[in-house]
Amino acid sequence: MTTPTFVPVPRRLIRRLAATVSGEQRDESAIPSYLHWNPFVRWIITRRLQMVTRMVADTLAARTAAAPPAGLDFGCGVGLLLPTLAPHLATFYLTDLDLRAASRTADHFAIPNVRLLAADRWAEVIDDGSLAFIIAADVLEHVDDLAGVVRLLAGKLEPRGALIVSGPTETLIYRLARKIAGFTGEYHVRTIFDIERQIVAAGFAPRELRCLPGLGLPTLFRVTRYLRGDGR
């Protein structure tokens, strides 16, 4: 299969998708950031997806399994990675609390190999050891039972499969930046540093870390690629 390169979803489509999602779910999916008037806000939130895409590409390039790859976008939001990753996979699984917008994205791009799974069903539908990668982009800071979720995710990965995680630092600078940008909601129960510690404790080995925005500026988001450390 070919190497994924980032395919942006048009802002006009994101606006239409936003109308199908409830207020809190819309905010948790970062939709307002993709549509923000400030170009820096739009850049940094999109840059996360570009970094995730490259990490997926590196994972698939290093893969030795014979079976065609499958992946999971855990907490997929409106499905902005669908046109980027689905063409390079046998099956692309997506799960979230509300899948209506992601379904419309799949329809818009006529993607046939996507499976949308309810938040209470993905773990029973996806076979253990079957996924080349799992993406958890700005979602694990919202879940209650983080340790349990990380264990479930680990079990779905194939040997040397990758867990790609991004999240906000929740530092004073981050909170100030949110306030300046006009965001007021508080939906996070932990920071990316809490998440990273839990992932390592579950046996994952960090392989790559990227900080945003970079350029010597204070870090607002961290994006990390982990590999299953057991070699099974």
The partner residues of 157 in beta bridges, in order of sequence, read 131
5 within domain boundaries: no
- Model pTM? 0.92
Give residue 120's domain range: 11-228
How many Cα atoms are found within 13 Å in the side-chain-facing hemisphere of 69? 27
Query: Residue 159 phi/psi, 5° resolution?
Result: -55, 130
Count of CB atoms situated within 10 Å of the CB of 205: 14
Residue 29 has pLDDT above 80, yes or no: no
Residue 82 has pLDDT above 70, yes or no: yes
Q: Mean of the per-residue pLDDT values for the chain?
A: 90
Question: How large is the average pLDDT for residues 55-65?
Answer: 95
3 within domain boundaries: no
* Residue-level pLDDT at 231: 44
4 within domain boundaries: no
- Residues of the chain with pLDDT > 70: what percent? 89
**What's the burial of 8, exposed, middle or buried (CB within 10 Å: 0-12/13-18/19+)?**
middle
* Residue-level pLDDT at 26: 64
* Residue-level pLDDT at 36: 86
Q: Of 30-39, 94-103, 150-159, 177-186, where does mean pLDDT reach its minimum? A: 177-186
130 within domain boundaries: yes
Q: How many domains would you assign to the chain?
A: 1
Q: What is the CATH number of the domain that holds 223?
A: 3.40.50.150
Residue 201 has pLDDT above 90, yes or no: yes
Q: Is residue 189 very low, low, confident or very high in pLDDT (cuts 50, 70, 90)?
A: low
42 within domain boundaries: yes
